[in-house]
């Protein structure tokens, strides 16, 4: 399984890097929307939507929302959506504390989870567009956001294997440990500081960026745990089987969905 995960990552990471660095922002927005729609379909399945027609309708509505967000993204709507996205992930922390909430396969819980999916997908997409389209160095800031999440994932894996004893959230994801979370925070912060320095950030701004890195990695952990909660409610191991050793799109993007709004809003507040 580890070999499969490494091989898949070695194939996917260069592709993601090339897409971010070479595509103009409008094209990246289209590619991002397509990927996010694939993740939305998996989310709908985890939410308990069995009827294919309903899932198609959800995708059609989501596609229309992406188009509307693009038309309005240059105005104040972007900041509002980012704030709502960050607020959602704070609320998600409460859901993780009361992890049995929404577990029953009722129509009300399905609707609740579909609504939650909107707060997961749309702020992350707006953050992607805002990061990539910012001046200067928007492509590189977008790439740095992804690399922070990747570094956090690697740091969590190795520190968890080496020092992991106490579980982080055993009822939700038994494999995650507190040592893994500390390793994720350390790795993500170091990568963010290096990336910020390469992008010309200095002095007090660099210290602010370090704080933002900690918050971004913390959000990525919450995103990972929330998807684990959805899978536990749905009683499945992976959200899909698109990537060998990695599961589905949600399994690869859960941390990214949570990290992007935090990182994009934080850069705005820091004036970077």
Q: Is the pLDDT of residue 10 over 80?
A: no
195 neighbors 156 (Cβ within 8 angstroms): no
Of the candidates 177, 260, 172, 254, the one whose C-alpha atom is nearest the C-alpha of residue 215 is: 260
The Cβ of residue 24 has, within 10 Å, a number of other Cβ atoms equal to 10
What is the predicted pLDDT for the residue at 13? Answer: 87
Residue for token pair 């859960």: 254
Q: What is the pLDDT of residues 149-176, one digit of tens each?
A: 999 999 999 999 889 889 999 999 998 9
pTM, rounded to two decimals = 0.94
Buried b (16+ CB within 10 A) or exposed e, 205-227: eeebbeebbebbbbbbbbbbbbb
- Cα–Cα–Cα angle for 249, 157, 38, rounded to 5 degrees: 5
Q: What is the pLDDT of residues 208-255, one digit of tens each?
A: 999 999 999 999 999 999 999 999 999 998 887 776 656 789 988 999
């Amino acid at each position: 399984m580890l070999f499969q995960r490494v091989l898949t990552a070695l194939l996917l990471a260069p592709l993601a890097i090339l897409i971010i660095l070479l595509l103009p922002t409008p094209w990246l927005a289209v590619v991002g929307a397509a990927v996010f729609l694939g993740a939305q379909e998996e989310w709908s399945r985890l939410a308990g939507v069995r009827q294919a027609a309903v899932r198609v309708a959800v995708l059609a509505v989501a596609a229309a929302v992406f188009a509307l967000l693009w038309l309005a993204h240059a105005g104040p709507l972007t900041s509002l959506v980012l704030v709502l996205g960050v607020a959602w992930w704070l609320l998600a922390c409460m859901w993780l504390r009361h992890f049995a909430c929404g577990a029953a396969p009722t129509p009300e819980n399905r609707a609740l989870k579909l609504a939650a999916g909107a707060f997961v997908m749309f702020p992350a997409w707006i953050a992607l567009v805002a990061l990539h389209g910012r001046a200067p160095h928007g492509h590189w800031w977008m790439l740095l956001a992804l690399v922070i999440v990747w570094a956090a994932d690697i740091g969590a894996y190795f520190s968890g294997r080496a020092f992991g004893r106490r579980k982080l959230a055993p009822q939700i994801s038994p494999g995650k440990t507190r040592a893994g979370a500390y390793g994720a925070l350390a790795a993500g912060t170091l990568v963010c500081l290096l990336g910020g320095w390469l992008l010309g950030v200095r002095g007090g701004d660099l210290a602010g960026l370090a704080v933002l890195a900690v918050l971004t990695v913390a959000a990525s952990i919450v995103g990972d745990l929330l998807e684990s909660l959805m899978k536990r409610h749905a009683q499945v191991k992976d959200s899909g089987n698109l990537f060998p050793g990695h599961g589905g799109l949600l399994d690869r993007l859960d941390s990214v969905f949570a990290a992007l709004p935090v990182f994009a809003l934080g850069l705005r507040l820091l004036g970077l």
